[in-house]
């Protein structure tokens, strides 16, 4: 593990942190050191839902004895706190998804002329999931029906559930049905979560947390999955693509514009127009060779996956990026944007531009995005960056490290690469797991965090897991952590993967860590898990698979929503850091033991990286035992099953509902 005395485990980032200290500039790392978390709030024992408090439920026997002024017990308070985090996280992803749906509708209605439907095949596949007729129909009519069907998933008031629940394996759906956690609509579950957690409403921890899971499922199989699919329809389904990562992506002789935040609409338009003649001419007139776009956080993942736009990294890199002195403008929309960047930018020449009607930051210039005038606004923003280029000062850390990477692994591509257009399937992966070549799969995701040597736990787990023949799928700032460390390359398999995983990676030609996209693209992992269940030979539901989710440096409420939708879908999840409900034994028991019993998933919090690794491998090996697979032994593989008899196939087909998954589904 990384040395505890460093701020970032990423060398380039650490160089800039050192530079910031020598130049008396404050960063999140300094603030994290100065501002220790309140131990009562940190563990979920503080209740702030009314103004008789805040009540602190503390003491040596708080679980049994502590009460708020209203009489609320600690498990109630801790559970309410978690449910509110889930609601906030769900709201964030889903509001983003709503923007995507509204844009698709505007395109269908001819009101957003600068956007178009790029991936018609994906539109048809989505229409197929939704039982919308598409053959022989006008594309825009299909798109309109898709968009209006999805809009109903946000606000459905009549009977029914979120459409995409039907994409999960049948057995997984049956568990949801049995325990009453099928979400009706996204907004409704979020509103109900806020209602139930208001003073004097729902007080039973298990009952509260059950609704938390229902809300989280609305996020995963609703907001996130809808957002992924519409983004693919509008801008293309990702395929493997080369890009670069770290601070060396900024160019000395070009205008550098960072796109930072989450919603890809404006970023897509900036990428589309950046090489237009008038833009290039204008840049030259100000002494620059052109305009270079770089990404940050999840917007980076979106533009990297589809266009190979380089990334400057994840959450804790945003201030450091400005400190290179090379950023002429940073265009931000919503989520994970530190307000600190405007104050910091005054020490440099960087122009911070806020663009969402939902988000302003004191000190930033506001240029509001409107999908009906996308191109015009994109050009305005690029010109602002160009105008600022001559103001670039000499100072800045000017760190130039960068690494190549390969991103762009959509679930469609992962299926395709295992057999081509006609025979794409998850058979080879399932077989490799059955034979013990691949021990299991880990989703390594979530934020990077200044409270630990930032990106260090991601790097530790990434290298250890692949050494143990575990295939990694990564998203969000987890991908950025791996990308800026140089881990997202096929060579990584040769140098660091265990013998079985290396063989598989070489045979298919993939890195051992697959970059699947932004945090909303965690929905791609749900689709992959469903496809693996449908393929047969492993578990016939998501639960019971040799698969684990890990968010080792999480900080956002969105991560909690994601962790909970994986748990409810049947995946054991391990988060790093202190538990935000660690004060309550009862809540902790429900999230681990009770959820495991009901859904075959769980949500653990474990600050020790070595223990996270140990737990993940144990979950994987226990799942292998449960499925009666060959015991995992490094370098020793079972017989690869090449062909299945028809009888075998029929047997599997009985359990598996193939039509709900991936390509051709």
Binding region for ligand NFS (CB under 6 A): 262, 297-298, 314-315, 336, 446-447, 476-477, 518-519, 556, 558-559
Tell me how far apart the alpha carbons of residues 327 and 312 are, in angstroms, rounded to a whole number: 11
85: which 2 tokens? 């985090």
3-state SS class at 168: coil
Residues with Cβ < 8 Å from 239, sequence gap 6 or more? 408, 410, 413
Nearer to ligand NFS, 237 or 311 (CB): 311
Cα dihedral value 550, 554, 560, 564, nearest 10 = 0
3-state SS class at 564: helix
Nearer to ligand NFS, 532 or 564 (CB): 564
**Residue 369 φ then ψ, to 5°:** -80, 145
Tell me how far apart the alpha carbons of residues 656 and 139 are, in angstroms, rounded to a whole number: 31
Dihedral sign (CA 293, 298, 304, 306): negative
564: which 2 tokens? 């909970």
Nearer to ligand NFS, 232 or 586 (CB): 232
3-state SS class at 405: strand
Tell me how far apart the alpha carbons of residues 131 and 135 are, in angstroms, rounded to a whole number: 12
Cα dihedral value 83, 85, 89, 95, nearest 10 = 80
Tell me how far apart the alpha carbons of residues 577 and 628 are, in angstroms, rounded to a whole number: 33
User: Is residue 448 within 8 Å of residue 517, measured between CB atoms?
Assistant: no
Least distance in angstroms from the C-beta of 315 to ligand NFS: 4
Dihedral sign (CA 103, 108, 112, 118): positive
Least distance in angstroms from the C-beta of 520 to ligand NFS: 7
Nearer to ligand NFS, 107 or 461 (CB): 461
Tell me how far apart the alpha carbons of residues 97 and 158 are, in angstroms, rounded to a whole number: 21
Nearer to ligand NFS, 183 or 517 (CB): 517
Q: How many CA atoms lie within 13 A of 408 on its CB side?
A: 25
Nearer to ligand NFS, 518 or 623 (CB): 518
Nearer to ligand NFS, 477 or 602 (CB): 477
Burial of 367 (0-12, 13-18, 19+ CB in 10 A): middle
Tally helices (H) and strands (E) across the chain.
Answer: 30, 15
Q: What is the DSSP code (8-state) at residue 224?
A: I
Least distance in angstroms from the C-beta of 490 to ligand NFS: 24
Length, in residues, of the chain: 665
Nearer to ligand NFS, 559 or 616 (CB): 559
Strand blocks (E) in 160-290: 241-245, 255-260
Least distance in angstroms from the C-beta of 264 to ligand NFS: 12
Nearer to ligand NFS, 386 or 447 (CB): 447
Tell me how far apart the alpha carbons of residues 88 and 270 are, in angstroms, rounded to a whole number: 29
3-state SS class at 259: strand
Least distance in angstroms from the C-beta of 218 to ligand NFS: 17
Least distance in angstroms from the C-beta of 514 to ligand NFS: 16
Least distance in angstroms from the C-beta of 479 to ligand NFS: 9
Whether the link from the prior residue into 589 is cis, omega within 30° of 0, is: no
Nearer to ligand NFS, 127 or 298 (CB): 298
Nearer to ligand NFS, 37 or 59 (CB): 37
**Residue 40 φ then ψ, to 5°:** -80, -50
Nearer to ligand NFS, 127 or 477 (CB): 477
Nearer to ligand NFS, 123 or 481 (CB): 481
3-state SS class at 635: coil
Least distance in angstroms from the C-beta of 581 to ligand NFS: 19
Nearest to 592 by CA among 601, 581, 583: 601
Nearer to ligand NFS, 181 or 243 (CB): 243
Least distance in angstroms from the C-beta of 98 to ligand NFS: 16
Residues with Cβ < 8 Å from 6, sequence gap 6 or more? 14, 453, 456
3-state SS class at 418: coil
Least distance in angstroms from the C-beta of 620 to ligand NFS: 23
User: Is residue 63 within 8 Å of residue 584, measured between CB atoms?
Assistant: yes
């Amino acid at each position: 593990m990384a040395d505890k005395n460093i701020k970032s485990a990423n060398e380039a980032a650490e160089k800039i942190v050192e530079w910031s200290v020598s130049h008396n500039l404050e960063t999140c790392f300094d603030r994290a050191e100065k501002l220790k978390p309140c131990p009562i709030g940190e563990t979920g024992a503080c209740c702030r839902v009314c103004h008789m408090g805040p009540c602190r439920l503390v003491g040596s026997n708080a679980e049994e004895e502590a009460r708020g002024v209203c009489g609320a017990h600690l498990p109630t308070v801790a559970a309410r706190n978690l449910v509110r985090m889930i609601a906030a996280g769900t709201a964030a992803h889903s509001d983003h998804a709503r923007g995507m749906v509204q844009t698709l509708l505007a395109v269908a209605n001819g009101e957003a002329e600068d956007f178009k439907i790029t991936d018609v095949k994906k539109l048809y596949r989505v229409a197929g999931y939704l039982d919308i007729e598409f053959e022989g129909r006008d594309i825009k009519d299909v798109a309109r029906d898709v968009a209006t069907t999805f809009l109903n998933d946000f606000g459905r008031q009549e009977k029914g559930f979120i459409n995409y629940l039907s994409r999960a394996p049948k057995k997984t759906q049956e568990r949801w049905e049995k325990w009453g956690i099928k979400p009706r609509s996204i907004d409704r579950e979020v509103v109900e979560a806020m209602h139930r957690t208001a003073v004097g409403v729902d007080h039973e921890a298990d009952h509260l947390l059950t609704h938390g899971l229902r809300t989280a499922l609305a996020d995963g199989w609703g907001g996130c999955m809808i957002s992924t699919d519409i983004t693919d329809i509008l801008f293309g389904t990702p395929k493997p693509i080369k890009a670069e990562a770290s601070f060396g992506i900024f160019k000395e002789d070009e205008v550098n514009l960072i796109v930072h935040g989450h919603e890809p609409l404006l970023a897509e338009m900036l990428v589309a127009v950046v090489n237009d003649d008038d833009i290039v001419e204008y840049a030259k007139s100000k002494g620059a060779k052109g305009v270079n776009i770089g990404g940050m956080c999840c917007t980076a993942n979106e533009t990297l996956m589809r266009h190979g736009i380089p990334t400057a990294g994840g959450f804790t890199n945003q201030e450091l990026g400005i400190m290179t002195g090379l950023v002429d403008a940073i265009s931000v929309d919503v989520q994970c944007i530190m307000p600190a960047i405007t104050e910091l930018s005054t020490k440099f020449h960087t122009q911070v531009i806020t663009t969402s009607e939902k988000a302003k930051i004191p000190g930033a210039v506001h240029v509001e995005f409107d999908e009906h005038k996308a191109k015009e606004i994109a050009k305005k923003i690029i010109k602002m960056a160009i105008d600022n280029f001559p103001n670039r000062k000499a100072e800045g850390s000017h760190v130039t490290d960068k690494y190549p990477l390969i991103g762009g692994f959509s679930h469609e591509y992962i299926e395709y690469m295992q057999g081509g257009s006609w025979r794409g399937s998850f058979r080879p992966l399932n077989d490799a797991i059955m034979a013990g070549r691949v021990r299991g799969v880990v989703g390594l995701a979530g934020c990077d965090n200044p409270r630990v040597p930032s990106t260090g736990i991601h790097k530790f787990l990434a290298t250890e897991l692949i050494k143990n023949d575990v295939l990694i799928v990564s998203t969000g700032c987890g991908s950025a952590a791996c990308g800026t460390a140089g881990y997202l390359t096929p060579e990584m398999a040769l140098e660091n993967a265990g013998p079985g995983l290396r063989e598989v990676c070489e045979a298919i030609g993939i890195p051992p860590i697959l970059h699947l996209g932004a945090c909303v693209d965690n929905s791609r992992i749900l689709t992959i898990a469903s496809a693996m269940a449908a393929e047969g030979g492993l578990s016939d539901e998501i639960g019971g698979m040799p698969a684990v989710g890990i968010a080792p440096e999480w900080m956002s409420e969105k991560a909690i929503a994601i962790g909970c939708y994986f748990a409810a879908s049947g995946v054991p999840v391990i988060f790093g850091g202190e538990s935000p409900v660690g004060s309550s034994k009862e809540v902790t028991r429900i999230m681990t033991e009770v959820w495991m019993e009901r859904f075959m998933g769980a949500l653990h919090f474990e600050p020790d990286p070595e223990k996270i690794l140990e737990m993940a491998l144990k979950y994987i090996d226990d799942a292998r035992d449960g499925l009666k697979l060959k015991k995992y032994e490094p370098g020793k593989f079972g017989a690869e099953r090449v062909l299945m008899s028809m009888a075998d196939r029929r047997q599997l087909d009985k359990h598996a509902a193939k039509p709900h998954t991936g390509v051709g589904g």
